[in-house]
Amino acid sequence: MKKSIISTIIYTIIAMLFSCCDNVGNKPQSQTFNIGTHYVKDGKSSSITFSSMEEAERKLLQYFFPNGMSIDELPFDRHAFDYDLFEQIVRSNASSMNYPFDSLQHYANIDIIDSPDGNVRYYTWDYPHAHTMSDFHTIIQYRWNGKVLCQKPDASEDNWYVLSPNSLHILKGKTCNYYLTIAYFRESSNIGYMNFEISKLTKKGLKTVDFWNASYEYFISDWYFRTNGEGYDWLDYFDEKTSTLYVAEEDELCLTDRYWCYHWDGSDMKLVGTETVANPYLYPELCDYQRIGLFMRTSRNIIRIDKMPDDSYRYAVWKANETISNAPEIVITGGSFNGDNYVFHDKRYTYYVDENEVKVSKV
């Protein structure tokens, strides 16, 4: 009887010790981190002390953003935020993987992307700089055998170390789950680069597999001015329901608003068909276009102009409170482009459209 009681006490103590160890990893005790010398105010050394991720975030905000202005609103300053300090905090605290850092995402432009299963997390930021190329920095956190570990992206993989992940998806495999990452890089002031990779978790971290990848480059200004800064949510997305990846088509570095489709079959991404498909968000009866010409919004309408297979142009109009998946209110075909305006005629009016406005005159 006494042995049973003693055994119970011993097991209880052991369980408590393991519990304490877990708490040390997930709920940090009081920790102190020095702020980098480039970020110290008035030439005085400084540090922050915290005992939780909430407290760490709050103190970082108080120190670097005391006026409530985000890094985008502050005057240009390469040392507006100590990203190296943030990385140290993340790497030293397993509990950071469960913490959202909502305020730092906003104020310091730190992008955080979690995998649907919660086993992989990306932290990415673009170091402030004076040149036009992005200077992305990424940390990968992952769970392996009950532990939270960190890694740098594999620099041996071309461009991985400078890419900023846009989204992260689960691909159900026959022997394990894979991760599909869609990532972006700004190569210059006017050239963007999109990359699509499939990875899997190993004891050494998240590793890319070599059976599939895709990428493309495009002129940033071309897409931006043709869509008035919109439309990025149309591009490059993964349909979870059908396990289909839509990769935007580019024609001489100009995006067409049409897509190559790849289907995940459990072991590989396979190209569907031999031709691109139209924007899936667009009203089905408008899907016979060659490429998007212009997209714009006014206070009253949504306007889309498409170049057609015969090189003419089509004009479609929706009310401002509708979406392009609905039937348009107006459709005019047979239009042309004179170098400055898209021109369309119907029985009563002529429409002149550029990226800023629509002018209508009676015939």
Greatest CA span in the chain, whole angstroms? 104
The one-letter code for the residue type at 189 is S
Instruction: Tell me the two tokens of residue 68.
Output: 């409530």
Count of residues in the chain: 363
- For residues 253 and 191, the answer to whether their CB atoms sit within 8 Å is yes
Residue 153: what pLDDT? 76
134: closest CA among 163, 112, 158? 163
Q: Report the C-alpha gap between 249 and 75 in whole angstroms.
A: 38
CA angle 71, 127, 114 (to 5 degrees): 85
- The CATH number of 282-363 is 2.40.10
Residue 234: what pLDDT? 84
pLDDT tens per residue, the chain (363 residues)? 444 544 444 444 434 433 333 333 444 579 999 998 888 877 677 899 999 999 999 999 999 888 877 777 766 555 588 999 999 999 999 999 999 999 999 999 999 999 999 999 999 998 766 566 677 889 999 999 999 999 987 655 544 446 889 999 999 998 899 999 999 988 888 999 999 999 999 988 999 999 898 999 999 999 999 999 988 888 898 999 999 999 999 999 999 999 999 999 999 999 999 999 999 899 999 999 999 999 999 999 999 999 999 999 999 999 999 999 999 999 999 999 998 999 999 988 999 999 888 998 987
Residue 144: what pLDDT? 95
Residue 118: what pLDDT? 95
- What residues does CATH 2.40.10 cover in the chain? 282-363
Residue 41: what pLDDT? 73
Residue 23: what pLDDT? 33
Residue 66: what pLDDT? 83
Cβ neighbours of 113 (radius 10 Å):
18
Residue 45: what pLDDT? 73
Q: How far apart are the first and last CA of the chain?
A: 104
Residue 52: what pLDDT? 96
325: closest CA among 286, 294, 290? 286
**Residue 33, strand partner residues:** 48
Instruction: Tell me the two tokens of residue 268.
Output: 């590989």
- For residues 290 and 309, the answer to whether their CB atoms sit within 8 Å is yes
Please write down the HEC assignment for all residues of the chain. Answer: CHHHHHHHHHHHHHHHHHHHHHHHHHCCCCEEEECCHHHCHHHCCCEEEECCHHHHHHHHHHHHCCCCCCCCCCCCCCCCCCHHHHHHHHHHCHHHHHCCCHHHHHHCCCEEEECCCCCEEEEEEECCCCCCCCCEEEEEEEEECCEEEEECCCCCCCCHHHCEEEEEEEEECCCCEEEEEEEEEECCCCEEEEEEEEEEEECCEEEEEEEEEEEEEEEHHHHHHHHCCCCHHHCCEEECCCCEEEEEEEECCEEEEEEEEEEECCCCEEECCCCCEECCCCCHHHCCCCEEEEEEECCCEEEEEEECCCCCEEEEEEECCCCCCCCCCEEEEEEEECCCCEEEECCCEEEEECCCCEEEEEC
Q: Report the C-alpha gap between 70 and 73 in whole angstroms.
A: 5
